[in-house]
Structure 1
Amino acid sequence: MLLALWVDDEISFNKSFKNHDRIALVMQNKQSNVGIETWPLTPYPLADALRAEYGSSFKQVVLASATWPHLLNLGSKNLRPTGTYFEPGVTEMLDLKMLSGTKTGLKDQNSILLSGQVAAALFGKTDPVGQIIKMDNQTPVKVAGVYQNLPLNSAFADVQFIAPWKLYFSTTEWIRTA
């Protein structure tokens, strides 16, 4: 029985996304002093190259940062959820189920989308759309929407908030020179 549950978990991984058969992650192999290491990080210009050379093969090419914990604060409330900076196409790619607000919020550089869990922890039962919170004690962002928590059986289970790639690009110098 345990084996059957494990097999079911493996073959259903990421299948909750409408476009699961079209979602891919580009990885990079690098030679190091311990051998070849594989990383889910690639140089920023690769996205433009993929769009230029293979654009007809993809509906979306969406840049994403690594998923890291960030401090989100609202007054005296502080949370440290994990989140990812994405380009706006992610909302269509993952077919986010919005609980409030809009999927198009990532077009605004100073916006953020929160998972239902994070929104409830910060705002309780109050609708947070339009409210300002701070990221990492410095960057004010406006809540543009709240999406249904992403499935645990997916590569995106740890994405508890989504911030715009443009915000990442503007606040992270090394990404601009990668």
Structure 2
Amino acid sequence: MHRCDLHLLIDSRSLGCDAEGPHLHVIRRQNTNGAWSKSRKPWVMPVDFLVVQSADQHALERHEILDEVGSDFLLVNLFRPPYGHPVSPEAIGELCEALSTRAGLGRRVGPRICRHAMAINGVDAGGTLDEVQALLGQKSPESPRPYLHPARSGLRAAIERVPSLRELNEVGPR
């Protein structure tokens, strides 16, 4: 992803973009770091205030360390050489694993698990499968299903919603 792909303004029309709110344009292209989008078609992913804050923080750190030297890539190496060069997919995985260890999660977390968590959180928040599918950039309606792993508490809540025979008898025949 390039810095020009990230539109953090509430109204991006001044950038010549008609997508609503803060968002990221996901575009498949050959990159020097070996990263590429799975989706062959460009798509727009809305982002929340945490992504906006993180992007702002990264831009500040980037400016302090590089003084705007480096590539147009959105994510560049700031903490190890080659400084200012695009972060490789392997480095993103290493960063996720280091952060999961630092957070004391008890297991290694990588980008794929983050995708699973996003899908699950989207459904838990009331999102539909087609919304989760769009947020993951997948074209098949069945694509999000492998990412969804219901929590035990969710299964308990689902079974509690089913009326018992006693409750059905109290209501009477339908």
Shared fold (TM-score greater than 0.5)? no
- Kindly indicate whether structure 1 or structure 2 has the higher relative contact order, using CA contacts under 8 Å at least 6 residues apart: 1
- Greater fraction helix: 2
TM-score (norm 1): 0.29
TM-score (norm 2): 0.29
- Greater fraction strand: 1
